Amino acid sequence: MPTPKTGFTIEQHEKYGEMLQRSLRDLTTISTQIDNNYGRSTPISDEAKKVIKTVDQLKSDMEDLLCKENPDKDHSEISHCYYDAAKSGRF
């Protein structure tokens, strides 16, 4: 019988949230450079924007899981995992 999955710990959410935030910053930089060098209405620009949208959605979905997995925690206590890490000096 398979062992039930337990999800991430808060520490894992913090780690992977930081990684997603860093990835989004890097992808946004790349997307801006693509726009500047190839134009905004090019297929490559559209692809870059799709990637950003997908990663941003993943970040949002992971935050939803974090809140669902930790109903005893106030949202303001744990939302830093996927948002505000740059402001809190975690990078």
Single-letter code of the amino acid located at 36: N
CA–CA separation, 6 and 12 (whole Å): 12
What's the pLDDT score for residue 91?
39
Q: Is residue 34 part of a domain?
A: yes
pLDDT tens track for 57-73: 999 999 999 999 999 99
Residue given tokens 């799709």 in the structure block: 50
Q: Give the range of the structural domain holding residue 68, as residue numbers without chain letter.
A: 18-81
DSSP notation for 21-46: HHHHHHHHHHHHHHHHHH-TTSHHHH
What's the pLDDT score for residue 90?
43
pLDDT tens track for 16-62: 999 999 999 999 999 999 999 999 999 999 999 999 999 999 999 99
Q: Is residue 12 part of a domain?
A: no
Stated pTM of the model: 0.83
Q: How many domains does the chain have?
A: 1
CA–CA separation, 61 and 90 (whole Å): 21
- Give the chain's count of helices (H) and strands (E): 3, 0
Whose CA is closest to 80, among 7, 6, 26, 20?
20
